[in-house]
């Protein structure tokens, strides 16, 4: 193996590895954007994104955040309430979005109609 092919090989391997690593994190920004857009109290209690996690190739993404909550007496300090949402994707297409926390944002299960 000559020096030119060694140099080419040593330059190509890191880029190939980086390409595989970035595909792991795809769809994270799409999910963050959806969380910001779907958050209902943005005007009164802004949501701050604090973290995210993605599954293999970004098929499932969890976004975590927090927002300020006014104190309830006798407390006097504003507390930070944790929030989380899940996005599922098929390739780059969002197929499902749901809030995981807090309870006020989590969708209530629909009562099943009794089959008679």
**Rounded Cα distance, 81 and 72, in Å:** 13
pLDDT at residue 108, rounded to an integer: 83
pLDDT at residue 57, rounded to an integer: 85
**Rounded Cα distance, 102 and 74, in Å:** 22
pLDDT at residue 12, rounded to an integer: 46
Enumerate domains of the chain plus CATH numbers.
Answer: 24-101 (3.10.450)
Q: Examine the pLDDT at 45 and tell me if it is beyond 60.
A: yes
- Look at 57 and 10; give whichever has higher pLDDT: 57
* Across 11-15, 93-97, 104-108, least confident range: 11-15
- pLDDT band with cut points at 50, 70 and 90 for residue 79: very high
pTM of the model: 0.73
DSSP code string of 60-107: EEEEEEEEEE---TT--S-EEEEEEEEEEEETTEEEEEEEEESTTTSP
β-pair partners for 60: 88
């Amino acid at each position: 193996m000559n020096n030119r092919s060694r140099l080419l090989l040593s330059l190509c391997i890191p880029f190939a590895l980086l390409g595989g690593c970035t595909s792991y994190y795809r769809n994270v920004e799409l999910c963050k954007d959806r969380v910001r857009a779907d958050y209902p109290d943005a005007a009164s209690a802004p949501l701050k994104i604090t973290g995210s996690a993605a599954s293999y190739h970004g098929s499932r993404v969890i976004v975590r955040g927090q927002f300020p909550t006014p104190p309830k007496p006798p407390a006097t300090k504003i507390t930070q309430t944790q929030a989380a949402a899940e996005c599922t994707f098929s390739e780059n297409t969002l197929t499902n979005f749901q809030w995981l926390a807090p309870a006020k944002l989590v969708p209530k299960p629909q009562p099943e109609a009794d089959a008679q």
